[in-house]
Amino acid sequence: SSVAFQTQEVLFCVCVAMETEWRADTGRLSLFRRALSTLLLARRVHVGVRTLERDLEENPEPDEDTKDARWEELHRANAKATYAHIIKYKGFLAKVGQGLSARDGGIPQPYREEMRALQDHLPISPQKEVQGVVRADLGRPLADIFQEFDFKPLASATVGQAHRAVVRSTGQKVCVKVQHKGVAQMMNVDLRCVEYIAKQALKRHKEVPDVTPVIREWRRASREEVDFTLEAHSARRAVAALEAKGIDVAVPRPVDGLCGRKVLTMDFIEGWKITEVHRMPPGTDVAALARNLLEAFAVLTFHEGLIHGDPHPGNIFAEVAPDGHVRPVLLDWGITKELTADERLNTARWVIASMSHDRNLFMTAGNALGYKTTEHFETDALEDWMTGSMFLFRDSLPSSAQTYLFGVLGQQGEEARKREKEEEQKRLREEEEEKVKLKGKKGTGGCVLCGASPKKKEPKKALESIPGVLLFLTRALSMLQGLCSSLNVTISFAEPMLRHALSLVAGKSVPTLARSISSQGGFSLHAAVLSKLEALQRSRGMVGAQIAVLRDTEVQDTWACNVAFGNAGLSADGVLDGTLMPLLDVSNVVLIACLFVALERPSSVGAWVGLDTPVWQVWPEFAQHGKQGVTIRQLLEHTALLARPFPRKKMNAKRFCNEKRMEETMALAPQDTDCANLACPLLGVAAAALLRRVTGHRTTAEAVRATLEPLDLHRDIAFSLPPEDEARMAWVIRKPIEGLPLPKLFEYLETHKNKAMEKRDGVEPPEWLSWHELEGCCPASTDPLLPNRPELRDGSACAAGRGLRASARALCQLLRRGAGASEAAVARGRKLQVLSMEEWEHSGRCLEVGIGWQLFKFRRLAAKAGAKDAFVMGHGHVDGATGSMAVRLPGISIAILLNGVPSLDADVQHVGFDLMGIVAQHLGLEPVWHLDVPPVPARAPRRQGKVDEELDLRSTLRRLEQNLEQMAQNMQSLSQGFPSAGGMAAGDAPLSGDQARSLDLLGCWQSAEVEGLEALLDLFKVPEALHFLAKQAKRTLLVEGGLGAQLSLSSTTTMAGRTVEESMLVFEPGTPFQGQQQLGGAFTGCARWASSAGGEHALVLEKRFTLDGRELVVEETFAVGLDGRLEVAAACRGLQLPDGERVAEPCECVTTFDRQGPKPGASSRGPAFVRSSSSSNGGVPRLRGQGSGTRWKERSTSRFRQFSDAVLALATALPFCMASCKASSCAGRRVAARKEAPQQSADSLLKPPPAG
């Protein structure tokens, strides 16, 4: 009976919500009852979800539909209870409901559906209460102020309700917002309840962050929201800011003299909710309305310091402007966040950091805004928080596409949770086994001393508190994403937010042009370099550069070029000739040069140290793991077998910035015989460790300074500078991503997923990693923005191998003065190997090395082919991330230093190569070292560590179970699939040979599985996240035929109840024919009977298409096996990859079909199956047989366009989907730039591509 009563109460509240008056009881007992009811509701929702989770874990549902139905039922019941509670108690809880209704795709659908009515439908205040509030707040009776006043509210919101009225004195039509009685007290109680729930969660779950600052911010905003004078002030600021910037977004202007703390009078808006698209005039550009809204949001946030904290659809209208065009209107400025100048600046930096994946800037800006992190945040949570922040600025998606996106992300999260659960279960089993072994030592526990059980692994808490500023920003962005999703528009969120954030951050910096300090005899070189830098500034945006070319002769050294250009950072001043640029891998130039200088002097160990001295004699710890025989020469020549020196479980960014810890890492690294010709990624660390010990200094910074001081270069080459000179140090800049459409988002997530070194299928990742494996395991360690870390800039830490800074002039002078010792060390070179194009790019495309140096090959332009002096060798180092390089040629020193790295969505762009080509051309040379392209794959194959036998056995058993289930289904189909004796009607003539062969094919077939599709998807470089799409397409074949030799083949491919490819072909084996197909267009074909590989009769169907001037041949072989299943083997010749490369071998895949319904027999009365002339299931064709009808059943699993024929669709549809695929590298030219994917809505992806 109690359940029935609760159900009736919920239904009653839902049905009469619009007729309920606002009855506020603010007595102590009423407020206590309100708080208790809220807490009980929270407990009900929490207990229900946890109970169902445990039930599904203990008794998993075999059918996903049943599992989804159980969740749907629970969410629906909780959503109804929540809605009824909000309608009953109103207040701040209504804000929660409105927020839930605006988050399309982020929460379960029942909550969004139930809460949608809260956007503008809440209980109303009675007429007497409205009159009393107006008289008390404005000091006059309502009738004296307004000539007309409609007491039926236009809409009711959380705090008040809006009425249409006409001002008596002016006749102006206005909207009057009147506050509900007692709303302030109730909102305070609601927020205290939420704060209590948050504290309880923090108490019981150590990993939960402290959201007290967030709730404190909400309490502040709530106090301001019930003071309408503050809302009027915010509205006036918004009107002024938008008009000043020319943004086509309206804001109701408050009427002076008619506004108080509880009454707000504004201009009346003759409009409608922006989500009511059907009310828009014909030709209205809805996407333009959404773009204007986002532009207004960015302007107000960064330039006015005003964040609208409640942009749900109920607060955003559309109106017809005086000139006839439609524009959006922003209502309800009660919940706003005013930002101080510092908060605006740090919010802009946070946005830039999110889109450029700048870890240091993200942490710095977040901490300035109020993030309080623990020591575990950077290692355990930073990557996830940055990815989540970037996700906020994704391009908006239509509702169906956004639902699919959240579904895919949820599926990936579920897989990750399953892996974590398996790992936790294994750990607990190991602890139990350990307890059993130790049991009886003392007590009943596992400890031999006290009998205590092993401690349960406590979750690490990464975040202490979240800043309220970012709460408002992220909440508003999420609501705007949901609004655009409801409007079914696709717009870029990143572009306007970044544009205004960058203008704010860069506002204090001084744009600089190129500066030429001296260019004796090289004015044309200076002009060419300047022209190239200006072109780069226009195309790439933020870039800072120094280019220096020093000619040395016996008489006098001259500067052939000395140019400084661009900015030293986002908000820094311009690059000068004395600016110290970050060197990254070019730091090896300084360390190797200093080491050679030190080896010419007596060492601190009391003896001369040479290249053939064993390393352990200078560095005793290095002798571990059998490295006693390694000499300094072998270490510098990359022959010490140390290409994988990074321990997977110990590496992080902080360790990389600790020179002592990195020396320990190098000393502990084992030799790997598989790395005989691979580069050692810790060459700089090794050189720094040797330099420090040979010179006898405590730190590498001291050793470098002592070596450079006699050369007077210590002020221009250093790891850090004193605080008064900090402005001389440039920053590494990564260009932010200016847009994040769905394909790019999937590619980004897929790239990080592929690089992540995680345990899969029972196989452990390797214990010792190479540089690129470390990039997947600990990307912060390999981040080219590492020199931006505060501890490296202030000198409290030192990244010995990558943390040096220098000016281009100083590097040229260092190469000049150490030329003798260095050139002797590069007399003989050797060529290294790489395992992937990524490693080749990282090496600067230079694989030839000497003792400590990279060797660069140049060709003399004036030399004849085959001449002995046709080539010149230089030595130095290049950084693959920025393109910086320092090269010493006979008589010439060249330094090209850059501080910009490509954005995450761009191909590697070695700007340094372009600049080096210009410099070399003016010197009569041409760089050719990068033309020798290694024949390696784009990404190195994944290495495996030890195999977890238990997980490996478990996965094997799962596959065996699936095979047994498939065999059982096959046996069942065998027992039901053979034709009965009555398969041929009485009086029918005997079948001919062709008719007998075709009889097995007749009927309706539904695709079940595809073999070989994975290889095709990998061939076309389709991201793994999109593999799910291709695998879920459903294809139905209908084969019809009578007594004649003619056959009819109908093929239909569907996705989510939508037909994406449908074709019908009537042909006679042995006779040529023509046809048309939605995917591929027109074709010519022929069919013949043959024998399949298993000996069964098979129908071979060959189709020839002409696509973009090339012929594409698709051959399909139809054969019914002994198990009664139809196999269609498709082979395709003439395929072309997205980068234009043709596929040499035929691509093949096999689709297996299951028969739908009983097997038909041939009859003189016509085909055994006919297509129904009408369809009653939403446009999906219905098939019926002679005896009993069978409905074509489909399961909707995705929202995107799918591939029909596994081969043909790849050939025709992938260029459409994957227009942003990287073009393959080829010898003699640069890696082609990524093609920009066309901007289009996801609904357009649901449509089949055009023919051809």
Complete DSSP assignment for 382-417: HHHHHHHHHHHTSPP--HHHHHHHHHHHHHHHHHHH
Burial of 981 (0-12, 13-18, 19+ CB in 10 A): exposed
**CA neighbor of 691 nearest in space, from 679, 678, 705:** 705
If one compares 75 and 1095, the residue with the highest pLDDT of the two is 75
Residue 856's pLDDT band (cuts 50, 70, 90): very high
Q: Classify burial at 788, counting beta carbons within 10 Å of its beta carbon; exposed 0-12, middle 13-18, buried 19 or more.
A: buried
- Report the Cα 293 to chain-centroid distance in Å: 24
b/e burial code for range 1004-1019 (CB count within 10 A of at least 16 → b): bbbbeebebbeebbee
Per residue in 180-212, pLDDT tens? 877 777 777 887 787 777 777 666 655 565 666
Residue (of 909, 910, 874) closest to 894 by Cα position? 874
pLDDT on residue 972: 54
Sign of CA dihedral 778, 782, 784, 789: positive
**Is the pLDDT confidence value at 547 over 70?**
yes
pLDDT digits (tens, 9 = 90+) for 421-467: 777 777 777 777 777 766 554 444 444 334 444 444 555 666 667 77
In whole angstroms, how far apart are CA 313 and each of 317, 332, 335?
A: 8, 11, 15
Give 317's strand partners: 273, 329
Q: What is the mean pLDDT of the chain?
A: 76
Angle between helices 468-487 and 212-225 in degrees, nearest 10: 70
The HSE-up count of residue 218 (CA atoms within 13 Å, CB side) is 23
Q: Is the pLDDT of residue 16 over 60?
A: no
Per the CB < 8 A criterion, the answer to whether 757 and 769 are in contact is: yes
- Per-residue pLDDT averaged across 296-313, rounded? 90
For residues 276-301, average pLDDT: 92
Between these two residues, 680 and 1042, which has the higher pLDDT value? 680
User: What is the reported pTM?
Assistant: 0.69
Token code pair at residue 325: 């065009």
E strand or H helix at 871:
strand 871-878
DSSP-assigned beta bridge partners for residue 165: 149, 174
Residue 954 has pLDDT above 80, yes or no: no
Helix or strand (DSSP H, E) at 995: helix 993-999
At 1137-1155, the pLDDT tens digits run: 555 566 656 677 888 888 8
- What amino acid is encoded at 870 in this protein? A
Whether 348 and 517 have beta carbons less than 8 Å apart is answered as: no
Model pLDDT, residue 1247: 37
Closest to 1114 measured CA to CA, from 1063, 1153, 1154, 1156: 1063
Beta pairing, strands 316-320 & 271-273: antiparallel
DSSP H helices, 178-251, are: 183-204, 212-225, 228-245
| Distance from C-alpha of 374 to C-alpha of 382, rounded to nearest angstrom | 11
Cα 786 off chain centre by: 21
Query: How large a percentage of the chain has pLDDT more than 90?
Result: 26
Q: Which of 32, 85, 46 is nearest to 193 (CA)?
A: 32
pLDDT band at 803 (very low <50, low <70, confident <90, very high): very high
Q: Which tops the pLDDT comparison, 538 or 70?
A: 70
The confidence band for 1029, taking pLDDT boundaries of 50, 70 and 90, is low
Please name the amino acid found at residue 1092. Answer: S
Strand residues in 509-557 grouped as ranges (E):
515-516, 544-551
Q: What is the pLDDT of residue 636?
A: 92
SS3 1049: strand
Is residue 1109 within 8 Å of residue 1186, measured between CB atoms? no
CA dihedral 195, 201, 203, 207 (to 10 degrees): -120
